[in-house]
Structure formats: C-alpha cells, structure tokens
Structure 1
Amino acid sequence: MTTDHITKERLKILEKELEFIRYEEVAAKVTKENGFCRVLTNLGDYEDSKNLH
C-alpha cells in the first residue's frame, strides 16, 4: 500500500463518520422539538420495508 492509498481510505472513513454525526445532530434536534425521533437506515440492497423506495 502506498501512503496515498491509506490517505484515501482514511478519508472515506472520516466522511462516513461525519455523515453519521450529522444524522445524530438532526435526530437530536427532531427529538428536542417533538419529544421523540426514529431513524431508519438501509445499507446496500437491504430494504427494511418494501414500501420504502
């Protein structure tokens, strides 16, 4: 592995971590405003509910 490869892989991980932090921030805001919040995530081809397209 080259240093560039490691840097790109680490950058991808950091981007995902920042996305997750953003989801947490939004969920916290919604919970504060409404008293509750539900976060549903689907990854890849997995679909929790066939009604969500």
Structure 2
Amino acid sequence: MASAAIIMVLEPLLTVIAAALWYGEQLPLQKIIGGVLILVAQLWFRWRMLKP
C-alpha cells in the first residue's frame, strides 16, 4: 500500500493536534478517543501488512 494513502488518513488527526498545540484549542474527550482509534487502526493495519 502506498504511503500517501496512510498520510491522507492521518491528515485530519494531525490538523487537530496542530490546532491544539498552536492555537490552544481545547480537545474534548470525544476527539481524543477518535484520534486514538485512528492511530490504533493504522498501527493494526501496518502490523498486519508486515506479518509474513
């Protein structure tokens, strides 16, 4: 799978993190949980692809 597709999936998450850091935006629990789910799904998918 192309790395560009993975970056595109993570782009909204990275935008939310950047807004929280640069602009002091508050992150509600719902957004934090959503971000964690996105990261877990990406890690799980990559781990499955690397398994022989």
| TM bin (shorter chain) | 0.3 to 0.5
Q: With the length of structure 1 as denominator, give the TM-score of the two structures.
A: 0.47
Larger Rg computed on CA atoms: 1
Bigger share in helix = 2
**1 or 2 for the larger relative contact order (CA 8 Å, sep ≥6)?**
2
